[in-house]
Amino acid sequence: MAHKASAIAPANIAFIKYWGQKDPKTFLPFNGSLSMNLSDCTTHTTVEFREDLTTDEIQIAFEGGAGASHAGPVENEFAPIRREDGDKHELAFAQVDRVKALAEITAGARVQSRNNFPADSGIASSASGFAALTLALVTAAGLNDLVKNHVALSTLVRAGGSVSAMRSVMDGFVEIAMTADGADCEARQVAPPDHWLLFDLVAVVNTTKKSVSSSAGHLRAETSPHFAKRLEDLKIRLPQCRQAIQARDFGILGHVMEEDALSMHQVMQTSDPPINYFMPETVALMEAVRQWRAEGLPVYFTIDAGPNVHVIVEESYVNTVREKLAYFPGVQRVIINHPAQSAHVVDDHLF
Ligand code: PMV
């Protein structure tokens, strides 16, 4: 058994979003989804199993607090999280329990995790966080079959409670496909990172933790009168998105991704109780992207469960759009991502 291991995993941006759980116990989504792994929004996690520890310890260094600005990220200190805090904190401890049970480990686990981007604000930190945690756990536990088999690893990641994290354990562009009977789902690669040099410029307008977590939001999806229509539309939109990626058709991909983001936010805003992740800056950026497009710039947006706007462009327009975003009122920082490899084991330990 390795005892100590580290992994780095990317966040991902969903072009077709997962929103709503058919079975909250097994974290079964209602619909398939499709995303691109992000090169510059990553989580680095180290796990060590130690006989001298009587309880499990998890510490996280959240980046991008109040001091984040154009000057770049601010690295914060490691701080312990507690199981009692519920939501994704409780799920992280439960994932440690799950892997220890699988590997029959009785030793305590020490876990440290560092994000290089703001967490809980719509940049899929749960995706990178749970993918890195799970890969570091199974590697340290010596569960080598899981380290090598990324389909099985993604299933274990889902059991941990973050469906979007399933997409961070395969390289490049990744789909979560529902089985024909809708009773299960599986992660599949749509295309490797070098298939298409797309860029996701994340316009960061707010780095404070969102008011409603995605875990809580998923459970409200069905209360929206628009949810059934969304699921119906996805039967067409998801294959359209997959085909647009395969054919590198930016116009179709952009159209479909904006439509899907707005459809998800419509469901959120009409849930009971409603959830609004938009800030005035979010809306202004959406308008600006539409305006830039009307002026001939091929650029589209998508927005996750948070106020920050992901602006998607092809390589030749990165600098033009980066400049526009950097000087846009309210934009604190622009994070530039290209398609990335999935969660991988690294030699560099955090402790
Ligand atoms: O996997 P979760 O619980 O973090 O939910 C992710 C939800 C969205 O980011 C809004 C959409 C998605 O598919 O990534």
Assigned token pair, 17 = 């979003």
Q: Both tokens of residue 142?
A: 């010596």
Residues with Cβ within 8 Å of residue 165, at least 6 apart in sequence: 9, 126, 127, 128, 129, 130, 131, 134, 157, 158
pLDDT digits (tens, 9 = 90+) for 45-101: 999 999 999 999 999 987 754 333 333 444 578 889 999 988 889 999 999 999 999
Mean of per-residue pLDDT scores for the chain: 93
Q: Are 10 and 2 in contact (CB under 8 A)?
A: no
335: β partners: 202
- Please answer whether residues 108 and 54 qualify as being in contact, where contact means their C-beta atoms are separated by less than 8 angstroms: yes
Indicate if ligand 1 lies below 6 Å from the C-beta of 164: yes
DSSP 345: E
Which of 40-54, 62-76, 147-161, 304-318 shows the lowest mean pLDDT across its residues? 62-76
* pLDDT digits 0-9 by tens, 215-245: 899 999 999 999 999 999 999 999 999 999 9
| pLDDT average, residue stretch 290-316 | 97
Q: Determine contact, residues 230/30, Cβ cutoff 8 Å.
A: no
Alpha-helical runs (H) found in 106-202: 125-140, 144-148, 150-159
pLDDT at 122: 67
CA–CA dist 39, 17 (Å, integer)? 19
Is residue 14 in contact with ligand 1, taking CB distance under 6 Å?
yes
d(CA 203, CA 206): 9
Helices H, strands E: what count in the chain? 9, 14
Mean pLDDT of 184-211: 93
Cβ pair 108, 97 in contact under 8 A: no
What is the average per-residue pLDDT within 12-28?
96
| Dist. CA 164 → ligand 1 center (Å) | 5
Spacing, Cα 19 to ligand 1 middle (Å): 7
Task: Write down the pLDDT at residue 198.
Answer: 98
Tell me, what DSSP letter sits at residue 95? H
pLDDT of 40 above 80? yes
C-alpha 71 to ligand 1 mean position (Å): 29
